[in-house]
Amino acid sequence: MEKSELRVRVPAGTTLLEAARAEGYPIGTDCGGFGKCRRCRSLLLAPGRRGEAAPAPPSWLDPPTPAEQRQLSQEERDAGWRLACQVRVKGGLTAFVPFPEDRPARKSIDTQLPVRIKPWAERSTIWLRGKGEKEEGVLVERTLSALRRRRPGLRIDESLALRLPSPRQGAEGRDVPLTVTITNGCVVDLECEKSERKAYGAVIDIGTTNLCGYLIDMATGALAAESARPNTQREWGADLMTRVLAASPAERGGKDALARLSRAVRRDVDEVLTDLLRRVRAKRRHLIALIFVGNSVMHHLFLGLPVESFGFAPYAPLRKEGVAFRPAEKGIRLPPSSRAHFFPLLAGFVGADAVGVALALNLDRTKGDRAILALDLGTNVEILLGIPGESLWCASTPAGPAFEAGEIRCGMTSGPGAVCEVDVRDGEITLRTIEDAPPRGICGTGLIDAAAGLLECGVIDPTGRMRGAEELPAGTPEDIRRRIFETGGSRKFMLWGDASPLSANGVYLDQWDVRKLQAAKAAVRAGVGLLLAEAGLGWGDVGDVCLAGAFGTSLRPEKILRIGLIPEKPPEHIRSVGNAAASGARLALLSRTELKRAGEIQERVQYVELAGRPEFEKAFIEAIPFPA
Amino acid sequence: MPRDQELAQGIIRGDRESVVRLTREELDAGREAVGILNEGLIPGMDVLGERFARGEAFIPELMAAAKAMNAAMEILRPLLEASGVESLGKVVMGTVKGDMHDIGKNLVCMMLRGAGFEVIDLGVNAGAERFIQAIEESGARLLGMSALLTTTMSRMGGIIEEIRKSRAGAGVRIAVGGAPLDLAYANKIGADGYAKDATVAVECFKGLVAALRTP
Ligand code: B12
Ligand code: FES
């Protein structure tokens, strides 16, 4: 069976999407199964041999829903295309699914960032000379007093007494090893043995779509393992606002709405941790410290705090300060001795991940004479600005899902076969796809590249309009001309393959895709402009531009300049910084001072609220056209 | 008439200056206001509206055209009124409570004004009370409501219900819009009309006017 061909039993009354999910074969969605994105489109065929399969007979299926009529053209529907989130199947058939859910993209953490290791949680072995103690616990008592002598003010966790190990009797005159875990100045764990095992810390980045975990060796700061998985909450909807709604008892959610979404993400965290520990064959007990980052909504949902306030102006979080907690209390299978911190939030839509970025890039202590601008490009774009003289500013601007190729006609996440690079040179188009697999769709970087390339060869004019073949300047190569076509009321440009709906393998750019990209880049550009103005700076005062996040990693500076995502700048000043949120969290895992700094960043940052600012509209509209 | 084409082109290009100049020149030449509107300006807007619907024109172009249209209407309105051409109707318009998005709504307002409606714009973050108060004060029988967030959209139904229950709000025709909505949702929450973009919105309100006249 081919990978994208799917055979599942679909119980009566369930959609294909639900059935596939239940069978552990998730189909990709952008809109969370609400019939709004078309990513779940699937070709339903009556069983037959490959190549001769016919569209499934209508009697086996419910008629297309209004959502399907909107999202799929008549040609596509005639050929047997349906939306998996809508269609309920009655008979046995084969579904060809062009976009199964992709593996979460790898986001690289920077473990080279310099840090003086001074952890707030450490595990070390000490040796005590046995005095032939007979009584249980005496040795432990002695250990604790010895420790206290060495470190005045050291506290003992109350729950430790309940969990004290029974020591092997300290033989007279022999040295006995004891391994102590001290977290935040408090003894939280004691093992009556010498531990060969390392102590680990973990950075957990909870994203709306995926979770990433990084296991860090607490002694060296090295990366020991990494793991990622999709966020189960996506079943309640793809974007944050749908999640907010789903977790609000008064709205869609029902009484235990919040609890259900909390439980889902906590279970995901637990699985990521289990996987990380399995990879290095470590025990749960050896994971002594964790730092969590994520956007504000994920922060609240994970901690179990109500999220209604994010849904309505002024879109504020219930709680902004950093939170220290025991993972065990959040249903994570770790011993009570493991301790965790969730980074503070900067605003409703500038979350704990932004604090990580600021730490990693030292934005609160920007040196030199020019400011540093950091952009975390996603559905919601966090903008951070570090100005020399220790001033730090932030804002959030909503780009919509275009940068992740969401709601783009042939859009897909950056899985195998996603067109990720497009170059147009001398009228010749070259594509590169992820893993060099045959093109299946286009991802965010591909979208930006395609727009940049088509602007360059005149297929897209500076207003963003796609020109018809006959309007193209004389001398435009025939190969470019013949790729322009029109169906379903809008112009399109074929990047690869042919446009036959049954073939499912044409990858094209639609006029509306260009419009969505324009809205996204205008939101960023307007947000950056307003933030700079508020901070009293101009574009000339900005030195480096750092692009954070999985998406930022693969962007090419010339391309983002070509579409005007940011104003002119020498490309060498634009750099990718990977998963800077996690890189910053790692620093705080390894150093008390850095953890404290996370709190200071929250206290000091100046947040610029874009909502309710009349200048935004003007800046946004002015930023919609492309640079000529 | 080539002058009409020039007017229409001016609108399509969003060239406010030339639209204003041409409007004045036509009036000076003794042309009636209704003629300039129906044969020059509106056909221009129709062409642009159609391009907008296909994605060939976008927000800046539509905004510029609407501004040019409004500038011409400033000149024509007193003349139209004097010659007994009534405004198409009063519309109370606002973005619902909890929502701060108004670019789309502003565009709808401009297009409605350009088409000859009188618009009372409540801005953003408007709850049922403000809508009801505005209807009371203005006597408007048409109301438009915008929401750009899934969350605020989910409260539109409640606001509509409250408006309908109020004394002033009974019988008012309500249209809704904004990116997360669709026709099915608009029907579900009891709205009388829905439009996916600003040009369709004009048609939608014209339809509601007709519905008001034939109860
Ligand atoms: C501009 C914008 C903003 C601006 C708004 C400025 C303003 N004065 O309006 C600002 C920056 C303030 C803003 C804020 C927020 N935004 Co915002 N924003 C957008 C953006 C980029 C464009 C919206 C827009 O103006 N479109 C252009 C207009 C012309 O289109 P339109 O509004 O759809 O209107 C047309 C039709 O819908 C229709 N219409 C509209 N109203 C009506 C009314 C009637 C009666 C009728 C008939 C028709 C009609 O006609 C219009 C013209 O054709 C979108 C993303 C995108 N790419 O679309 C996100 C978006 C709407 N925002 C979103 C969010 C979540 C927010 C925030 C709450 C959180 C955030 N940061 O992301 C914040 C809150 C503030 C904060 N502290 O961060 C989300 C909503 C997601 C959802 N499903 O609910 C979006 C979709 C982006 C995303 N996916 O993340 N935002
Ligand atoms: S998941 Fe089916 S249309 Fe979005």
* Domain definitions of chain B by residue range: 4-82, 90-213
- Which string of b and e fits A316-338 if b means at least 16 CB within 10 Å? bbbebebbebbbbebebebbbbb
Which range scores top for mean pLDDT: A53-67, A118-132, A418-432, B14-28? B14-28
Model confidence at A5, pLDDT cuts 50, 70, 90, reads low
On whether residue A10 sits in a domain, the answer given is: no
Work out how many domains chain A is built from and give that number.
Answer: 5
Does the pLDDT of residue A59 top 90, yes or no? no
Q: What is the pLDDT of residue A388?
A: 95
Mean pLDDT computed over A565-575: 95
- Give the C-alpha distances (Å, rounded to integers) separating A235 from A55, A308, A409, A617, B133: 28, 19, 22, 34, 41
Ligand minimally distant from the alpha carbon of residue A239: 1
Model confidence at A2, pLDDT cuts 50, 70, 90, reads very low
Does the pLDDT of residue B202 top 50, yes or no? yes
The H or E element that residue A529 is part of is helix A511-534
The residues on A that touch B, with CB distances below 8 Å, are 66, 70, 237, 239, 241-242, 244-245, 248, 251-252, 310-313, 463-466, 489-491, 510-512, 514-515, 518-519, 611-612, 617, 620-622, 624-625
Q: What is the pLDDT of residue A249?
A: 79
Residues A212 and A333 in one domain: yes
Contact A487, A73 (CB under 8 A): yes
Helices (H), A535-569: 549-554, 557-562
Residues A182 and A205 in one domain: no
Least confident of A53-67, A536-550, B9-23, B25-39: A53-67
Q: Using one digit for the tens of pLDDT, what is the confidence trace for B28-55?
A: 999 999 999 999 999 999 999 999 999 9
Residue length, chain A?
A: 628
Residues A30 and A56 in one domain: yes
Residues A155 and A74 in one domain: no
On whether residue A352 sits in a domain, the answer given is: no
**For a pocket test of ligand 2, which of A29, A65, A70 has the largest count of ligand atoms closer than 8 A to its C-beta?**
A29
Contact A328, A338 (CB under 8 A): yes
**Identity (one letter) of the amino acid at A5?**
E
Residues A211 and A143 in one domain: no
Residues A28 and A153 in one domain: no
Subunit contact A512:B55, Cβ cutoff 8 A: yes
On whether residue A361 sits in a domain, the answer given is: no
Contact A184, A121 (CB under 8 A): yes
Q: Which residues pair with A129 in a beta bridge?
A: A175
Q: Distance between CA atoms of A104 and A145, rounded to whole angstroms?
A: 49
Which range scores top for mean pLDDT: A28-32, A81-85, A299-303, A387-391? A299-303
List, edge to edge, every strand of the sheet that includes A287-294.
Answer: A223-230, A210-217, A200-206, A287-294, A339-342, A323-325
Q: What is the pLDDT of residue A191?
A: 81
Q: What is the pLDDT of residue A343?
A: 98
Q: What is the pLDDT of residue A406?
A: 87
On whether residue A112 sits in a domain, the answer given is: no
Ligand minimally distant from the alpha carbon of residue A34: 2
On whether residue A354 sits in a domain, the answer given is: no
Residues A471 and A504 in one domain: yes
Report which of A388, A384, A385, A392 is spatially closest to residue A369, judged by C-alpha positions. Answer: A388
Does the pLDDT of residue A169 top 70, yes or no? no
Residues A396 and A533 in one domain: yes
Q: Distance between CA atoms of A542 and A368, rounded to whole angstroms?
A: 11
Report which of A197, A162, A196, A191 is spatially closest to residue A179, judged by C-alpha positions. Answer: A191
Q: What is the pLDDT of residue A557?
A: 95
Mean pLDDT computed over A333-349: 96
Q: What is the pLDDT of residue A407?
A: 87
Q: What is the pLDDT of residue A250?
A: 74
Model confidence at A1, pLDDT cuts 50, 70, 90, reads very low
Best probe of the B interface among A71, A241, A248, A461, by most B CBs < 10 A, is A241
Q: Using one digit for the tens of pLDDT, what is the confidence trace for A172-226?
A: 667 777 888 999 989 898 887 776 668 999 999 999 989 999 999 999 999 999 9
Which of A326, A342, A358 corresponds to the end of one domain?
A342
Q: What is the pLDDT of residue A158?
A: 78
Q: Distance between CA atoms of A608 and A535, rounded to whole angstroms?
A: 9
Residues A138 and A206 in one domain: no
Q: Which residues in B lie closer than 8 A to residue A515 (C-beta atoms)?
A: 55, 58
Residue entry with tokens 């904004």: B178
The CATH code for residues B90-213 is 3.40.50.280
pTM for the structure as a whole: 0.92
- Look up the domain containing A185 and give its range: 121-191
Higher local confidence (pLDDT), B194 or A473: B194
Q: Using one digit for the tens of pLDDT, what is the confidence trace for A224-253?
A: 999 999 899 988 888 899 899 989 877 656
Q: Distance between CA atoms of A602 and A604, rounded to whole angstroms?
A: 6
Q: What is the pLDDT of residue A3?
A: 46
Q: What is the pLDDT of residue A178?
A: 80
CA angle, residues A347, A350, A355, in degrees to nearest 5 = 105
Residues A283 and A329 in one domain: yes
The H or E element that residue B50 is part of is helix B42-53
CATH number at residue A556: 3.30.420.40
Q: Note the ipTM here.
A: 0.94
Q: Distance between CA atoms of A40 and A33, rounded to whole angstroms?
A: 8
Contact A95, A42 (CB under 8 A): yes
**Cis ω for the linkage preceding A314 (within 30 of 0):** yes
Model confidence at A519, pLDDT cuts 50, 70, 90, reads very high
Model confidence at B96, pLDDT cuts 50, 70, 90, reads very high
Report which of B115, B131, B128 is spatially closest to residue B204, judged by C-alpha positions. Answer: B115
Least confident of A301-305, A438-442, A532-536: A438-442
- Residue A136 DSSP label: T
Q: What is the pLDDT of residue A79?
A: 82
Look at ligand 1, atom 18, and give the residue with the nearest C-alpha: A398
CATH number at residue A90: 3.10.20.30
* CATH superfamily placement of domain B4-82: Methionine synthase domain (1.10.1240.10)
CATH number at residue A226: 3.30.420.480
Q: Which residues in B lie closer than 8 A to residue A244 (C-beta atoms)?
A: 150-151
On whether residue A4 sits in a domain, the answer given is: no
Query: Quick one: what percent of chain B has pLDDT higher than 70?
Result: 99
